[in-house]
Homo-oligomer: A and B are copies of this chain.
Amino acid sequence: MSDHTIPYKIYLSETEIPSAWYNLRADMKNKPAPLLNPGTHQPMTAAELSGVFCDELIEQELDDTTPFFAIPEPIREYYRTYRPSPLVRAYHLEKALGTPAKIYYKFEGNNTSGSHKLNSAIAQAYYAKKQGLKGVTTETGAGQWGTALSMACSYFGLDCKVYMVKVSYEQKPFRREVMRTYGASVTPSPSMETAVGRKILAEHPGTTGSLGCAISEAVEVATSIPGYRYVLGSVLNQVLLHQSVIGLETKTALDKYGITPDIIIGCAGGGSNLGGLIAPFMGEKLRGEKDYRIIAVEPASCPSFTRGKYAYDFCDTGMVCPLAKMYTLGSGFIPAPNHVGGLRYHGMSSTLSQLYADGLMEAVSVPQTSVFEAAEYFARVEGILPAPESSHAIRVAIDEAVKCRESGEEKTIVFGLTGTGYFDMVAYEKFHDGKMSDYIPTDEELKASLDKLPVV
């Protein structure tokens, strides 16, 4: 294996960091449905959103026609501290599987946030600073987004208040310490600090929390303290826009070596990684230039694409946010407490939802034990200890590579390795100790939360 023409790790130079983000929506014939005002059910205007979000981010959120947004130089300068990220050829994995498939992964874990989340965090913090704000609030699940935002706020000198899903706060005590190192405050959610938190705790005492709850708390705080806005690490169009840097770099690296992928695989919680990874490839597909198989992988315990409903729903449990049309399990849905693999959000990016509804991508759900089996296998052969979230994509990449072994096809598979699992060792411990269940919500449980969708 020593005479590869393609290196193990394709590193672009810093001058090849994209100078503009790609806005996938510009190439979509069927645009994602607009956010609606929860009271009037009319599309949200920039003015209505301005109390919650930063102004320039609202422009990006609402713009579905401009194909490219220039990346401001201070953001590119920060990108240069950890980007371009490597596109890795999984030679060892291919060999271990005995597959003729060629496997590549875009590895976003080589930064202190441990994931791709930093790509959007630094952008959002920049726009908040530019607007003269004092600080931002946010929610975090696994803690990757909270860490990324802490780093970004520290860099630009902004205050950062993080509401962390309680179960993650308890499973990942050290994430809080990392965020403190960057000067952020971290509160387990639901908390008694907010009206919505107190209401949720009164209705569901002992709840382990959800991203939906934490969003409600963060929005309440952002809209009640002057000089603060709310920022979000996934789901929103603006986030997918920033994350397009992943796909753009991936495409540049592949093009450099004349490689065209057959299958592109990404894990999907709110959709930020998948939406970013596939952006330029889906663009080609939308413009009829090329075709790719694109697969979203989600946990069987939180199956919004595969078992959810495509409908308008609240983005948060407290129902304080705008309505979004998306594949959703209902804003009250909370994965079983035994679920440790992240990707816990009840809904899915509106953009990805529309693409999925239009048959432009596939989705599969996988049980968590099989995800951790793939994670450990990958760690041993490729060296990198993956985040549970990322391991959903590994699971399906391995499955597809095994199919190639059986069929003899030399397909090229690209997947997103969104991050590292260094803060997920409680989850790995459960797996090692055989204490992991593959509980999947029943049809009745899903019906119960889907019955509460708003009537639009």
Quick check: A180 and B77 within 8 Å, CB to CB? no
Asked whether A1 and B425 contact (CB < 8 A) given A380-B183, A383-B111, the answer is no
Binary contact readout A107-143 vs B (1 if CB under 8 angstroms, 0 otherwise): 0001110100000000000000000000000000000
The chain B residue sitting closest to A154, CB to CB, is: B380
B8 close to A81 (CB less than 8 A): yes
Q: List CB contacts (< 8 Å) of A78-108 with chain B.
A: 78, 80-82, 92
User: B77 and A1: CB pair below 8 A?
Assistant: yes
CB pair A376–B81 under 8 Å, yes or no, is no
Asked if A363 is an interface residue, CB under 8 A from chain B, the answer is no
CB-contact partner of A112 in B76, B92, B151, B379, under 8 A: B379
For window 337-393 of A, CB contacts with B under 8 Å fall at 376, 379-385
- Please give, as numbers and ranges, the residues of chain B lying within 8 Å of A92 by CB-CB distance: 81
How many copies make up the complex?
2
Q: How far is the CA of A78 from the CA of B92 in the complex (A)?
A: 9
Q: A77-B1, A92-B81 are in contact. Are A385 and B181 (CB under 8 A)?
A: yes
Binds B, one of A9-17, A234-242, A244-252, A443-451: A9-17
Q: Which of A180, A181, A380 has the most CB atoms of chain B within a 10 A radius of its CB?
A: A181
Given contacts A9-B14, A81-B383, contact A420 B112 (CB under 8 A): yes
Say if the beta carbon of A429 comes within 8 Å of chain B.
yes
Query: Are B112 and A178 touching (Cβ within 8 A)?
Result: no
- Tell yes or no: A174 within 8 A of B by CB: yes
Complex Cα–Cα for A14 and B7 (A): 7
A422:B423 contact, CB within 8 angstroms: yes
Q: Given the known A-B contacts A13-B7, A423-B422, are A178 and B81 also in contact in the complex, defined by CB atoms under 8 Å?
A: no
- Please judge, given known A-B contacts A112-B379, A112-B384, A420-B112, whether A8 and B180 are in contact too, CB under 8 Å: no
Question: In the bound complex, what is the Cα–Cα distance between A87 and B415 (angstroms)?
Answer: 28
A292 in the interface (beta carbon within 8 A): no
Measured between alpha carbons, how far is A114 from B155 in the docked complex, in Å?
23
CA of A114 to CA of B383, assembled, Å? 11
Residues of chain B within 8 A (CB-CB) of A180 are: 428-429, 432
Q: How far is the CB of A205 from chain B (nearest CB, A)?
A: 29
In the complex, A2 has a CB within 8 A of chain B: yes
Residues of B within 8 A of A81 (CB): 8-9, 92, 382-383
Q: Which residues of B contact A1 (CB under 8 A)?
A: 77
**Does chain B have a CB within 8 A of A177?**
yes
Whether B425 pairs with A422 at a CB distance below 8 angstroms is: no
A111 to B425, CA, bound (A): 16
- Is A73 close to B, CB under 8 A? yes
- 0/1 per residue, A174-194, Cβ < 8 Å to B? 100110111100000000000
Cα distance, A345 to B101, chains bound together (Å): 47
How many angstroms between the C-alpha atoms of A429 and B179 in the bound complex?
Answer: 11
User: Which of B111, B114, B376 contacts A181 (CB under 8 A)?
Assistant: B376
Which positions in A face B, CB cutoff 8 Å? 1-2, 7-9, 11, 13-14, 73, 76-78, 80-82, 92, 110-112, 114, 151, 154-155, 173-174, 177-178, 180-183, 376, 379-385, 420, 422-423, 425-426, 428-429, 432
Show 6 A/B contacts (Cβ-Cβ < 8 Å), sorted by A.
A81-B382, A81-B383, A82-B383, A155-B380, A181-B376, A183-B380
Instruction: Across the A-B interface, give the 4 residue pairs with the lowest CB-CB distance, nearest first.
Output: A174-B425, A177-B425, A422-B422, A8-B80
